[in-house]
Amino acid sequence: MSKKKRGFDINFDDVAGEEPTPVPAGTEARRGPMAAAITENADALNARQTAEAAIRAENDALAHEHVRLKKAGLITDLIPLDAIRTDKLTRDRAPGRDPEIDELKQSIRDVGLSNPIRVEQVGDTYELIQGFRRFTAYSELLAETGDENFARIPAGINAKGENLLRLYRQMVDENLVRRGVSFGEMAQLAINYRKQAAEVEGYDHAVELLFASSGRQKRSYIKHFVRLLSATEGQITHVDAIPRALGLAVVRRLDENPEGQGVLNRMLAAMPDRDAQQEHAVLTDFVSQMAAPAAKKVKLAPTARAAKTTFRLSRPDGDAKCTVADGRIELRLERDFSGIERKRLEKAVAAFLTELEA
C-alpha cells in the first residue's frame, strides 16, 4: 500500500506584500535597565567634560590676562613693609628726614594712600622702585600708632628683571614733576647710576640717559653739578641746599683755575662738621677768592676795522657757522658744548690748532 505524499504550497508573493504588525504605542523606545543606566552615565560624562573644558578655557584666559597685566606693571597688592627692601636704587634725595613727610602722613591718615608705591619682586621679598617717601610715611605711622593697617602698603608690582636704566628713569620721571628736587640731588643720582651701570660711558652720558625727558638747558645744569660733586670727591654734604647760581659759579672758578680743586677741597676739609649754611658760605668764599683780578681799563686809540671771513659748513646735526678774524675764531652750532667734559674739549681744540700749524 503506497503512502500518499502530503504537502502544501507557499505563496511568497502574498507574504512579501503583507504589512508588518504595528508595535503598540508606548513600547517602541522601551529599553532594559542596563541600557538606560549606560545612556545616563554617558550623558553625565559628556556634560562633565564640557563643563571642565569651559573651566579650563576660562582659567587659561585668566592666566594669560594676569601675565599681561603683570608685564604691564598693573598688578597691585598689599605688601608687608618688612618684605620691602630699598637698596637696589640709590634715592635722589639727600640724606636726612624729609620735612614734608609729616604732611604726607597726615594726608594718609585722612584719606588713605591714593597712589600706590611700585616694587619689583625678588624671590620672597620686594625691591622698592618708586615711592620712598610714601614707604617712609607708612613705616613711621606703623611705629607711632601700632595700627596693623599701616603694616601693609598698596604696591604696584613691576615685571621681574626690568632694565636698570628703565627703573631709574621711572624714579627720575616721577620726581621731576615734584617740586624741590635740587640740581645737586639730580647730579648725585647720575653719579650713583653711572657707578652701577658699567656700560655707561661717563657721567655726561648718564645724565643724558636719566634725564632724557628734561630740556637741554636743564641737563646742562645737571652736568655742571656733576662736575662740582666729582671735583670735591664727596665732600659736599648738603647737595640739596646749593643754589643753581652758586653751583655754576663754583664750576666756572674750577675751570678757570687749575689749582682751584685743591683749594676748594682744603676749604671743605677744614670744616668737617658744617651745616648747610656754613657749606654755602665756604662755596661763596671760594668763588670770591678764585675770582680773576679785574683787568685795568686802557683807553685805546681807534683802529681800522679788521678784516673778517665768514663761512658755513654743512653737518648732519646742522650747519656750523664759522667766523674768522684777527686773533679770533668763532664757531656757532646748535649744540650745548658746556655738557662736554673738559678733557675732551681740550683734546679737540689741541688737535684743531695742531692741524692749522701743519
Please state which of the four CATH numbers 3.10.20.740, 3.40.50.970, 3.90.1200.10, 3.90.1530.10 is assigned to the domain occupying 49-162.
Answer: 3.90.1530.10
pLDDT value at residue 66: 63
Q: How far is CA 196 from CA 17, 164, 168, 190, 229, in A?
A: 101, 9, 11, 10, 17
Comparing 23-32, 201-210, 278-287, 294-303, the range with the smallest average pLDDT is: 294-303
* Residues 105, 110, 112, 113, CA torsion sign: negative
Neighbouring residues of 39: CB distance < 8 A, sequence distance ≥ 6: 31
Q: Of 97, 148, 157, nearest to 126 (Cα)?
A: 157
Task: Tell me the sheet residues that pair with 125.
Answer: 122
Contact by Cβ (8 Å): 68, 212: no
pLDDT value at residue 294: 46
Number of CB atoms found within 10 A of residue 204's CB = 21
Which strands make up the sheet holding 308-313, listed edge to edge?
308-313, 320-325, 328-332
Q: Which residue has the higher pLDDT, 342 or 172?
A: 342
Q: pLDDT, tens digit, for every residue of 325-343? A: 777 788 887 777 777 777 8
The segment(s) of the chain belonging to CATH 3.90.1530.10 are 49-162
Burial 250-273 (b: 16+ CB within 10 A, else e): bbebbeebeebeeebeebbeeeee
DSSP 114: S
Q: What is the mean pLDDT of residues 350-356?
A: 78
**pLDDT, averaged across the chain:** 78
Q: Which residue has the higher pLDDT, 153 or 29?
A: 153
Whether the per-residue pLDDT at 258 is higher than 80: the answer is yes
How many helices and strands in the chain, by DSSP H and E? Answer: 12, 8
Which value, in Å, is the radius of gyration of the alpha carbons in the chain? 42
Q: What is the mean pLDDT of residues 161-179?
A: 64
Q: What cell was used for 92?
A: 635722589
Q: Report how far residue 183's alpha carbon sits from residue 313's, in angstroms, rounded to the nearest whole number.
A: 35
In sequence order, which ranges of 130-235 are alpha helices (DSSP H)? 132-145, 164-176, 183-196, 203-210, 216-231
pLDDT value at residue 5: 54
Q: Answer yes or no: pTM beyond 0.95.
A: no
Comparing 41-45, 175-179, 345-349, the range with the smallest average pLDDT is: 175-179
Comparing 1-15, 72-86, 167-181, the range with the smallest average pLDDT is: 1-15
Task: Tell me the sheet residues that pair with 77.
Answer: 155
With H, G, I as helix, E, B as strand and everything else as coil, classify residue 126: strand
pLDDT value at residue 229: 92
Whether the per-residue pLDDT at 26 is higher than 80: the answer is no
Q: pLDDT, tens digit, for every residue of 267-310? A: 999 998 899 899 999 999 999 998 855 444 444 444 444 567 88
DSSP 146: -
Percent with pLDDT over 70 in the chain: 75
Contact by Cβ (8 Å): 228, 265: no
Residue 311, φ and ψ in degrees, nearest 5: -150, 165
